């Protein structure tokens, strides 16, 4: 068993060393923490020397092992006594005296062994000293546990359990050796690892007991996964033991039955490991028995925030809210009801829950109760003790849901925006003050996310309507201009109805107006431009604008200069419309005896320039700066105030510019610059 003893004490030395380093960095000066650090350090040294002695026995190593063992027993006595100090008020401090006597007994027995002992089994005084050490240790631990008030034992319980287990192991080892005059080599070999297995329980008490002045933190996730792993290992050991029993006592069928049992055990283990109900029960068990608070709030809050901020894995924000809330209470899912603009709560999202057509008004007694009280409703408690929820009236659809468990109101500020109904948990789950406080805090954050989502959806819908209304305003503005053309034609028809040229011109005007109106209706229905941008002959377009205005006074002077060709990329209909709008404004601002001109300039190969000038009433600089380009600002009796706004917006869209130069009483100069179309050679 030398190899087993070497590994056992070696692993124990490593475990004590790591635990000692952890305590060293977590220690904040408290006496219990300092004594614990010393006990762990000496235990690590004892385990290391024991491992060396087991690997290669030597007389001086054996003596050093016993000395360190005595020192280890003394310092662990000191740790228990320090924890017992608050219990000594008004009483004889006999535990310290008793512990001191045992340590002296151990030292005396060691000296006696060195003087009169021989190779082989230690003398009975040495075995009796270690037996007394175990008995007194159990007495001290029992006095400590009984002396602590019942409501305070929760923190010290794991350490008492660990120390009692260690002293019980020592009692069995040395009682057996004392009675049968031999040391059980198997038990002696695993002595080191047996004591190292007690470290997690001591660490847990350190985490629970602030009076030790240790800033220790035991992660719930690590405890959960470690417990699950230990349980799986124990399960496999039991299955393996049963399989080997079947193999040796099963006759000819033994090996076949062994393989069948092992395979069935592995399948069952896999099913258990992937069972949400089993994991939920294990979490509840660990939280109840190993931690002072049910939740690790830091991890829970990080996980909750992450679930809300990254609605992923195919879940929308509503489903993510349900998942985040249900994970806090081991529920498999539920449903979310959100209020609409009319104050009616309808099912917005669901997770592992059937679809329901139920709609609940915010003015119903149920929603008013949620809004006024802000309580989280436990429907199981309500069915058993309805008097606790005085004034609560459950809707028929909710009362008929057998699987409904918790109703969590979603309030942002002082306004109820909806509620979540969670399904029954996978495992029995106690709803106490801690759970309620966590759910209330979580629902506030979830309500904030959902409220912003609703606001974003409302804003998007408002923007869609705004875009549609803006397009409608542009269309109505164009219709106004078309109606003006038809009105002018009807006014002239009384005088020129018999003129064949007028009749031909009238037919062309009606056809043009009909085509434009049909195009505007298509644009309004499809909510997009009626034609894609393409190469436009700017000279032909300016001539068309002039021809459409030829019946108006004053006439339009088109100046093309030396330009014989000019092409730009734009929407022909829209570009003609906005240039026609600028020309129309010039005509409206100028008397019949005034002058209006359109000039085409090509200053370079990249830009074309259209200049519209008039000698009309003009505009002040303040009007140009503050009112001209703003929508729905106009000085015309029949104007809508969106023509200049649309012109500037469209020119910026295609990369052009618009500039106004005007002076009151002198006239206005409007410069439109457009990007030239580039063609491949």
The predicted-structure confidence for 67-78, as pLDDT tens digits, reads as follows: 898 898 889 888
**How much is the average pLDDT of 474-485?**
69
Name the percent of the chain lying above pLDDT 90. 14
pLDDT score for 45: 93
Give residue 647's pLDDT.
83
**Residue 662 pLDDT greater than 70, yes or no:** yes
Q: Model confidence at 633, in pLDDT bands (50, 70, 90)?
A: low
Average pLDDT over residues 322-340: 88
Could you tell me which residues come within 8 angstroms of residue 333 by beta carbon, excluding any fewer than 6 positions away?
A: 322, 323, 326, 350, 351, 352, 353, 422, 423
Give the mean pLDDT of 272-276. 62
Secondary structure letter of residue 209 according to DSSP: -
Q: What is the pLDDT of residue 530?
A: 46
Q: What is the pLDDT of residue 472?
A: 67
Residue 681's pLDDT is 45
pLDDT beyond 80 at 513? no
Q: What is the pLDDT of residues 608-631, one digit of tens each?
A: 999 999 999 998 888 887 777 766
Q: What is the pLDDT of residues 337-361, one digit of tens each?
A: 999 878 889 998 888 888 888 899 9
Would you say residue 104 has pLDDT above 50? Answer: yes
Residue 388 pLDDT class (50, 70, 90 cuts): confident
**Domain ranges within the chain, ordered by starting residue:** 2-218, 307-453, 531-675
Query: Which is it for the CA torsion 147, 150, 152, 157, positive or negative?
Result: positive
Contact 544, 576 (CB under 8 A): yes
- 10: alpha, beta or left? (left if phi > 0; alpha if psi -120 to 50): alpha
pLDDT of residue 244: 65
How many Å is the Cα radius of gyration of the chain?
45
Highest mean pLDDT: which range of 22-26, 273-277, 606-610: 606-610
Are the beta carbons of 352 and 333 closer than 8 angstroms?
A: yes
| Cα–Cα dist 48/17, whole Å | 10
CATH value of 307-453 in 1.10.3720.10, 3.30.2290.10, 3.30.450.40, 3.40.1190.20 = 3.30.450.40
> Does 408 score more than 90 pLDDT?
yes
Return d(Cα 645, Cα 637) in angstroms, integer. Answer: 18
Backbone angles phi, psi at 329, to 5 degrees: -125, 20
pLDDT on residue 225: 57
What rounded mean pLDDT belongs to the chain? 79
Q: What is the pLDDT of residues 120-175, one digit of tens each?
A: 555 677 788 888 888 888 888 888 888 777 666 777 888 888 889 888 888 888 88
pLDDT at 296: 58
pLDDT at 354: 87
> Domain 531-675 belongs to what topology?
Heat Shock Protein 90 (3.30.565)
Comparing 21-35, 95-109, 110-124, which segment has the lowest mean pLDDT?
110-124
Mean pLDDT of 264-272: 66
- pLDDT recorded at residue 92: 45
Residue 151 is predicted with a pLDDT of 61
pLDDT band at 674 (very low <50, low <70, confident <90, very high): very high
Q: How would you class 251 by CB atoms within 10 Å of its CB: exposed for 0-12, middle for 13-18, buried for 19 or more? A: exposed
Mind listing the pLDDT tens digit for each residue in 54-94? 888 888 888 888 889 889 888 988 888 888 876 665 454 66
The answer, yes or no, to whether residue 557 has pLDDT greater than 80, is yes
Q: Specify the DSSP element, H or E, that contains 330.
A: none
Region 328-336 average pLDDT: 89
Q: Judge whether residue 584 has pLDDT over 90.
A: no
Stretch among 45-59, 581-595, 618-632 having the lowest mean pLDDT: 618-632
Q: Please name the fold of domain 2-218.
A: Rhopdopsin 7-helix transmembrane proteins (1.20.1070)
Residue 671 in this model has a pLDDT that exceeds 70: yes
By CB neighbour count within 10 A (0-12 exposed, 13-18 middle, 19+ buried), where does 325 fall?
buried
CA 186, 228, 301 angle in degrees (round to 5)?
140
pTM score above 0.85: no
In this prediction, residue 614 carries a pLDDT of 94
Q: Kindly report the CA angle at 241 between 237 and 246, in degrees rounded to 5?
A: 150
CA distance 428 to 424: 9
- Of the ranges 204-218, 285-299, 587-601, the best mean pLDDT one: 587-601
Asked if the bond preceding 195 is cis, omega within 30° of 0, the reply is no
Distances in Å between the Cα of 324 and the Cα atoms of 172, 298, 328, 330 are: 50, 15, 7, 10
């Amino acid at each position: 068993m030398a190899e087993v003893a070497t590994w056992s004490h070696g692993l124990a030395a490593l475990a004590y060393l790591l635990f000692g380093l952890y305590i060293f960095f977590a220690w904040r000066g408290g006496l219990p923490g300092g004594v614990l650090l010393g006990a762990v350090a000496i235990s690590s040294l004892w385990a290391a020397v024991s491992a060396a002695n087991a690997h290669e026995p030597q007389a001086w190593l054996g003596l050093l092992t016993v000395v360190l063992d005595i020192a280890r027993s003394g310092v662990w006595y000191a740790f228990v006594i320090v924890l017992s100090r608050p219990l000594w008020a008004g009483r004889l401090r006999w535990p310290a005296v008793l512990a001191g006597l045992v340590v002296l007994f151990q030292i005396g027995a060691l000296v006696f062994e060195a003087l009169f002992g021989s190779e082989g089994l230690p003398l009975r005084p040495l075995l009796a000293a270690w037996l007394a050490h175990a008995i007194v240790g159990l007495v001290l631990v029992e006095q400590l546990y009984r002396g602590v008030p019942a409501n305070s034992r929760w923190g010290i319980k794991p350490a008492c359990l660990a120390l009692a287990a260690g002293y019980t192991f020592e009692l069995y080892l040395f009682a057996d050796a004392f009675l049968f005059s031999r040391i059980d080599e198997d038990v002696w070999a695993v002595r080191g690892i047996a004591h190292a297995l007690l470290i997690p329980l001591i660490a847990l008490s350190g985490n629970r007991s602030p009076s030790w002045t240790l800033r220790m933190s035991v992660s719930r996730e690590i405890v959960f996964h470690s417990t699950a792993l230990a349980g799986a290992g124990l399960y496999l050991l039991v299955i393996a033991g049963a399989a080997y029993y079947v193999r040796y006592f099963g006759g000819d069928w033994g090996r076949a039955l062994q393989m069948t049992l092992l395979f069935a055990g592995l399948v069952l283990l896999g099913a258990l490991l992937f069972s949400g109900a089993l994991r939920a029960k294990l979490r509840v068990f660990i939280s109840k028995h190993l931690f002072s608070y049910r939740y690790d709030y830091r991890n829970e809050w990080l996980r909750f925030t992450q679930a809300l901020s990254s609605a992923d894995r195919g879940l929308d924000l509503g489903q993510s809210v349900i998942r985040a809330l249900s994970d806090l209470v081991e529920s498999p899912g539920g449903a979310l009801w959100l209020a609409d603009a009319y104050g009616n709560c309808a099912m917005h999202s669901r997770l592992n829950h059937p679809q329901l057509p139920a709609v609940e008004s915010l003015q119903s007694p149920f929603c008013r109760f949620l809004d006024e009280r802000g309580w989280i409703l436990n429907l199981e408690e309500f069915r058993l003790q309805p008097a606790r929820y005085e004034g609560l009236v459950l809707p028929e659809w909710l009362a008929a849901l057998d699987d409904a468990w918790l109703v969590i109101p979603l309030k942002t500020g002082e306004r109820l925006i909806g509620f979540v109904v969670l399904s029954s948990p996978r495992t029995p789950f106690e709803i106490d003050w801690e759970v309620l406080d966590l759910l209330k805090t979580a629902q506030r954050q979830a309500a904030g996310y959902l409220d912003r989502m609703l606001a974003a959806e409302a804003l998007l819908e408002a923007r869609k309507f705004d875009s549609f209304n803006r397009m409608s305003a542009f269309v109505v503005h164009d219709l106004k201009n078309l109606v003006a053309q038809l009105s002018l034609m009807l006014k002239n028809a009384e005088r020129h109805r018999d003129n064949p040229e007028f009749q031909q011109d009238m037919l062309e005007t009606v056809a043009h107006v009909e085509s434009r109106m049909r195009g505007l209706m298509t644009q309004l229905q499809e909510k997009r431009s009626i034609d894609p941008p393409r190469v436009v002959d700017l000279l032909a377009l300016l001539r068309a604008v002039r021809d459409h205005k030829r019946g108006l006074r004053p006439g339009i002077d088109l100046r093309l200069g030396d330009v014989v060709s000019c092409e730009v990329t734009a929407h022909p209909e829209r570009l003609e419309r906005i240039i026609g709008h600028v020309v129309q404004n010039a005509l409206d601002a100028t008397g019949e005896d005034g002058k209006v001109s359109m000039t085409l300039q090509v200053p370079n190969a990249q830009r074309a320039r259209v200049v519209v000038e008039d000698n009309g009433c003009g505009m002040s600089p303040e009007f140009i700066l503050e009112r001209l380009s703003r929508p729905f600002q106009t000085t015309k009796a029949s104007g809508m105030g969106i023509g200049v706004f649309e012109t500037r917006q469209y020119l910026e869209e295609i990369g052009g510019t618009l500039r106004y130069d005007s002076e009151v009483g002198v006239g206005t100069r409007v410069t439109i610059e457009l990007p030239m179309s580039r063609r491949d050679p």
